Structure 1
Amino acid sequence: MARPVFADPKTDFVFKRLFGSEEQKDLLLALLNGLLELEGPHRIVSVELLAPEQRPAVTELKHSIVDVKCRDARGVTYVVEMQVLNVEGFEKRVVHNVAKAYVGQLGRGQLYPELNDVIGITICDFELWPRSEGHRVPMLSRWRMQEQHGGEKGLGQLQFVFLELPKYDVSRPPQTVVEKWAYFFREAENLTMVPEALAQHPYVDALEAARTAGFTEEEWDAYIRAGMAIQDERGALSLARTEGRDEGRREGQVEGLRQGIEAVCEVLGLELTETRRQEIAALDAAGLSVLLARIKARQGWEA
């Protein structure tokens, strides 16, 4: 199999190679400052990588959730995640992870004033808030608690940042820092050379770190396995959704037939006893169809 020039940074192996290693810590700093839109004296200048969390218990999602944790000099913790697949309850899991990181700071004997803020940064390869007329969450959105009457912002101990990659405007070259990061994550695996838009630091550094020519055979095999695992998860979720839709259609068909039988019996003046209702409830779609046809043909149903 011929190697592409650059590996997909959305995969577990490459994301952690770029943003979860001591050797590439500058890339993590650049990503944090870029997505948090920090400039000048507000920029994060150093971080400490934290031990990764255990993979989620749901086996089907173990490869599509990628996270890197770090803490800056002020004590603020950052939970940086790449989410490839849109799964049920995704937003709740993000909130849970950030809250868990916040509460996890409180060891035995520690006081609440010692707790530091936690910021969750999630890069989504899907639209978490789909675009709709009159309601549009931007590609980069930032969330924190807000007083509902006056709009005063407060309780900023937990903050959330989301970058929704499909919302990147492909009709023009990327201009801003955020757009360039979105372009990098979306298009890196399709590039054959460093584009002009990403020819400066830190994007060119990220591309060089993702250049497959620098992968050992073991690293290349790990990358291929990570990509195949994501495809398997995507296929499993797609199958589950298809089966769910099919089951929903079958249930709707059965319910429609039951309602049809009740309507015909009502028109013909036939009483449905509880015993008959139970018999109808036990029939599948084929049985209900036969029964409905018999009732219509006989125009009656003897007790």
Structure 2
Amino acid sequence: MVFADLKNDFVFRRIFARHPDILRGLLNDLLDRRGEQAIEDIEYLPTEQLPLVAGAKLSILDVRCRDRSGTTFVVEMQLLHVAGFINRVVYNACKAYVDQLKAGEPYTNLTDVVAISICDFVLWPDEAQDIAKLPRVPMLSRWNMTERGSGNHGLLQVQYAFLELPKLSKSPPEAAGSDLWAWLFVHAPDLTEVPADLPPGPHRAAVELANEATFTQAELDAYRKVMDEIQQAREYGAAQRAAGRAEGKAEGKAEAVLAVLAARGLTVDSDTRARIAECTDAAALARWLVRAVTAASAEEVIAPERG
């Protein structure tokens, strides 16, 4: 058996946007809804598609639904850590909250919104939290507004949950729940059969629907097309990051050249300063930095080499 990647937009849609029982199981586990708080019935709402990154075809698909109490849930699979990601999550959640109200309707008509983001990247690295002497953020984190002094959780109208898949433990989960969902999102493509110890329920149903043998040819084509788009998006993101690192290194070397000239008390006219600051050739900047230590003038630093 070959199993599709649950993080793939098409597969995510195929499973969670068409099978309310599976989506309900995912929501209850990620939000720890049990007993009277459990989500029992949901209805799907219209979804939105937005650009994932400039220059890439891949789109963000969110699955929206509403439970019997009127709470709206926005579930999103995010593969790349694009700039402003958390800002966009907050914006979309708040927009979903205010968009419920039509002109002239009372504010009492507003119901809660819960935004759930499943991320294939780390949002709050343990190392960064340790350096800042802050508590580490767990793989599954839930957020809402809390009064600082008393810790009162009175403002629950807009809530957030983030599942950071790279934080998944290397050990297989011992029980069903949010850890098992994370394990399936990460490891489903590695499976060769439905695990025998996977109990009946939403987890097992999700794996069975990811079996490529259950796909039509059109569905397989759609799945592979999205896989290609995911790869394009990853390559684009990697290229952008590499360009940013190179630009940062060049900028640092240019600043070093100017700092050495300033420390030696050499005058740097505006044209020379601009040429050094705007240079992106790392090799040239390295030569200029060596020259700056002994050159008699700033102009000598950037003068062409004699053949």
TM normalised by structure 1 equals 0.87
User: 2:275: which partner in 1?
Assistant: 283
Instruction: Specify the code of the residue in structure 2 equivalent to 1:40.
Output: G
Instruction: Specify the code of the residue in structure 2 equivalent to 1:96.
Output: Y
User: 2:235: which partner in 1?
Assistant: 235
User: 1:9: which partner in 2?
Assistant: 6
* Contact map agreement 2:63 2:75 (CA 8 A) in 1: yes
TM normalised by structure 2 equals 0.86
Shift of 1:138: 1.2
Instruction: Specify the code of the residue in structure 2 equivalent to 1:6.
Output: F
Give SS of 2:117's match.
Answer: strand
Give SS of 1:144's match.
Answer: strand
Q: Distance in 2 between matches of 1:296 and 1:187?
A: 58
CA pair 251-25 structure 1, distance change in 2 beyond 3 A: same
Alignment: residue pair count: 289
CA pair 25-241 structure 1, distance change in 2 beyond 3 A: same
CA pair 145-197 structure 1, distance change in 2 beyond 3 A: farther
Shift of 1:125: 1.1
* Contact map agreement 1:174 1:183 (CA 8 A) in 2: no
Aligned pairs for 1:200-279 (under 5 A) are 200-264=200-264, 266=265, 272=267, 276-279=268-271
**Identity over aligned residues, as a percent?**
45
Instruction: Specify the code of the residue in structure 2 equivalent to 1:14.
Output: V
Structure 1: gaps of 5 or more residues: none
Q: Distance in 1 between matches of 2:298 and 2:88?
A: 56
Q: Distance in 1 between matches of 2:139 and 2:289?
A: 55
Shift of 1:124: 1.0
CA pair 66-198 structure 1, distance change in 2 beyond 3 A: farther
* Contact map agreement 2:56 2:236 (CA 8 A) in 1: no
Give SS of 2:81's match.
Answer: coil
Give SS of 2:89's match.
Answer: helix
Instruction: Specify the code of the residue in structure 1 equivalent to 2:270.
Output: Q
Instruction: Specify the code of the residue in structure 2 equivalent to 1:12.
Output: D
Q: Distance in 2 between matches of 1:233 and 1:57?
A: 8
Shift of 1:152: 1.2
Give SS of 1:93's match.
Answer: helix
Q: Distance in 1 between matches of 2:56 and 2:49?
A: 12
Q: 1:86 aligns with which of 78, 81, 84?
A: 81
Shift of 1:58: 4.8
Shift of 1:236: 0.5
User: 1:95: which partner in 2?
Assistant: 90
Aligned pairs for 1:51-130 (under 5 A) are 51-56=46-51, 58-60=53-55, 63=58, 65-130=60-125
Structure 2: gaps of 5 or more residues: 301-307
Instruction: Specify the code of the residue in structure 2 equivalent to 1:36.
Output: L
CA pair 101-283 structure 1, distance change in 2 beyond 3 A: same
Q: 1:49 aligns with which of 44, 47, 65?
A: 44
Instruction: Specify the code of the residue in structure 2 equivalent to 1:87.
Output: V
CA pair 129-152 structure 1, distance change in 2 beyond 3 A: same
Q: 1:38 aligns with which of 16, 33, 36?
A: 33
CA pair 203-128 structure 1, distance change in 2 beyond 3 A: same
Instruction: Specify the code of the residue in structure 1 equivalent to 2:160.
Output: F
Which of 29-38 and 285-294 deviates more?
285-294
* Contact map agreement 1:140 1:162 (CA 8 A) in 2: yes
Shift of 1:44: 1.2
* Contact map agreement 1:84 1:124 (CA 8 A) in 2: yes
* Contact map agreement 1:280 1:288 (CA 8 A) in 2: no
